[in-house]
Amino acid sequence: MKYKYQGDFKQKKKQGWALNLYRNTQKGYIGGVCAGLADHFDIDTWVVRLAVFGGFLFLGGFTVMAYIGLWVFLDPKPDYEDIEYEYDERHHTYRPKKMFKYAESASARLHKAKDKLNTIAASVTNMERHVTSRKFDLNRQFSDLKDD
């Protein structure tokens, strides 16, 4: 007996749950779950493996069950052409679709904002210097004479 949502489940699984979330069997040791999660979150594979090992030490069977569950719920990574892409406005390019949007770190964004504010402050300083100069005052007086 087929359930109503069985085809929907298989389709979503095949499409990476609309997040490009797959197992990477080429870089993986057992099932490719850690390598797939590392690819998805753009971090090194060893970090995910260390987190899983730490989870196994502290949570035991729960981590094993979660790993097996992800092994079942994630399809192996398809060919390069089958991956879903989205347009990244900030970098003006297409990138693989991920769970989180691509963003720079907070410190990098703060540094860019600081640079923009410094540029604006320099422009305002130059404008004030020009407006308060004698040359500007003289040019304004000459333009007032032309109008009369």
pLDDT tens per residue across span 13-33: 776 776 778 888 888 788 888
CA atoms 63, 30, 21, 4: torsion sign: negative
85-88 vs 93-96, strand pairing mode: antiparallel
pLDDT band at 65 (very low <50, low <70, confident <90, very high): very high
pLDDT of 78? 75
The tens digit of pLDDT for each residue in 81-126 reads 566 677 776 777 777 766 665 566 677 778 888 999 999 999 999 9
Q: How many domains does the chain have?
A: 2
Residues 118, 80 share a domain: no
Q: pTM here?
A: 0.51
Q: Which domain holds residue 138?
A: 106-147
Within this chain, do residues 92 and 25 fall inside the same structural domain, yes or no?
Answer: yes
Q: Would residue 68 count as lying in a domain? A: yes
